[in-house]
Structure 1
Amino acid sequence: MRQIGPDGVDTLPLLTVVNVPAAPAGCRRTLVERARWEWRPADGGDPAVAAQEFLAAHGLPLDDLARPAAGHDPTGPCGAALYVSAAAGALLAGAPPGAATPTPALPDVAVVVYGHADARRVRPASPAAGPWRLGDWAESWTPAEHAAAVEAVREAIARGDVYQVNVVGHACARYAGDPLPALARLGALPGARYGGTLTGAGWAIGCASPETLVELTGGRLVTRPIKGTRPATAAGARELLASAKERAEHVMIVDLERNDLARVARTGTVRVDELFAVRRWCDLWQAESTVSAAVADGLGLADLLRAVCPGGSVTGAPKRAALDRIAALEPVGRGAGMGALGWVAPGRIDLGLTIRTAAADAERVHVWAGGGITWGSDPEAEVAEAAAKSAPVRAALAGR
């Protein structure tokens, strides 16, 4: 395990406005990093337990999420950023982590604890940091290889191995300049519920995710799975609403999420509050549902992470069997994509699923995109859908 002091690298000045997804809006101008912990598989141990213990040691007890939060101490911590990679989530689920990550500089779990500083000492982040150039994108697989993976999933469905598998591709591009302003642009994309950035020594993540992995407020857990995509036109909305294939795919994941929440909820409290609502992200319509449940007494953060990571909408059903297929089919690891990123504090958790997400290391910017594959999937259409999801992210990174 690595415990790292407040980060002082150029990409994250100590007193720059914090832009962590889901951080309290009223606090962002006064947040200052107090402590940091990062985990990689070579460190060993249980990262979910270690994260919970680290938070408790720094004044953020999350061992009983049903317990009302204590009164706020203005001198104490405000909360913490929490990042969990898809590979770490697979480990928590007892599944293989998949192919090697293309971003080894990134940790697989990061916890950054923030307190409040004098607002007069906090300077706004610069909107630009000099010239920026993004090179050509190099794909982790060709369209034909992506289509072949879709066919392999369909064959696994025909054998009865799985019902649905989410297949994800990766691309990277070399850059020159400071990547943080480019990554920060993602948060301005329309529909980016979890827009923001998280940085560390030699790495940075930018998020434009619209999807809630898990939220906890007022003793109630909420997840908002997204599954089903069409162009954001009137015809696209009608087609999405009328598609039996998209609705069946969506309902499978809603059922999976209901089961995930039931593992950590008070008995009999899981409910579907909204089913197959069509909402917009950039130039795409997407179908979203809302599932909620009352949190069980004594539930801690570690057990919650085990129940919901990795998210069902980016794995498939059954989740463990889908993770086995993903590990066998995807040639490149998911890195910062398809994980969790957001804010945790006593009485409040809000983690987004890191779809529509990019990451930077010292040399390259990386993006991931994919989609859920069912028996009714058309390989060429699935390849096109992944490209459509990735296009706004790549355009924002390029400054267009």
Structure 2
Amino acid sequence: MELATFDLLRATEGRQVLREATEAYGHVGDLALGTRLRAAGHPPDLVAAAIGQVALRRRAAAKLGADAGAMYFLPDALEQATRAGVSAHRAERLQALGPRTLVDLGCGIGADLVAFARAGLDVHGVELDPVRAAMARENLAALGLPGTIEVADATTVDTSSYDVAFVDPARRDGRGRTFDPSAFSPPWPFVETLLAGHGVAKVLPGIAHDLVPEGVEAEWVSERGDLVEACLWGRAFAGTGRRATVLGRHGRATLTEADAPEDVPVDDPGEWWYEPDDAVIRAGLVTAVAALTGGWLVDPHIAYVSSARCVTTPYARAFRVVEELPYREKQLRAALRARDVGTLTVKKRGVSVVPEVLVKRLRLTGSVTATVILTRVQGEGRAYLVEPVSAHRASA
């Protein structure tokens, strides 16, 4: 989108076209809607931009909730935007640490600025793209939030007058999305410099532990079962080395290295099986789940925990072990057919099995729904029929 088009979109006529497009969207096709709006005398570029914005707002609602209906987006900026619950957690944590002023270096369309401003921080956004900068400014205003935006190269900004320098590096290169930190924008050395002081950086959840600078805290965050980001807290804010934060219906739950014993027993599965949340796994805190459940590992290299007790915990999903089944495919098929299994969920870890392919090959036709875990137990491939345990059935 060109800046001139966005200027039209947020002007009086553009807001009218947006309202009309919003009311009609979903009731008629895009082609018919565009024809109707152009027939009413609205410029074709404005009509196309308005319909595009309505579609993006619908998509954004899953990430940003009700705010999305008043905001402006670009497709790739929306893709990089943080979920509202996750950005609120980060902003609330910063608020509790005491900073008052924050600069967002490469603020995009301002999704994180919204959360920081709502938490009471005095925010300033820096964005090289004039269209994104204009959208960020408009988005803050549309939600009634204070803040300033400037168009500039984030790497040239003096951050010394701010209590926090936040950065969410763009993770795209000329070929599309990249997982290589050396290709981030701003570049990784710039991010490391910020983290040596009052910097906070949102990064990919798959970031390697050895990339985290010394003295910096790495926090992996999941929401509603999805691992969504890692946040690096600079030396001024670090409270531990590694942290796992789980956001869900229970609220917010956090584990750190202090919760994870180094020495945990390894043994065959007991009556209860635990699948740790992905944030816990990425943070390397699986042994904390073992400590919380009074359990042990089933293999020193596999992120599964077993226990003799069923314990309610936000950090892992619990399963009751029904029985061990044959691990080899032919014998496993026979065992499942003998139990009238027709719908099968395969969970696996540490074995070279593609669940979807295996389910198709098993050709089950029964009436029972079942879950099977395929994994290594002390180095040996094993299969277990398990029953997922809902939270209300578990007891501490």
- TM-score calculated relative to the size of structure 2: 0.24
Structure with bigger gyration radius: 2
- TM-score calculated relative to the size of structure 1: 0.24
Higher strand share: 1
Higher helix share: 2
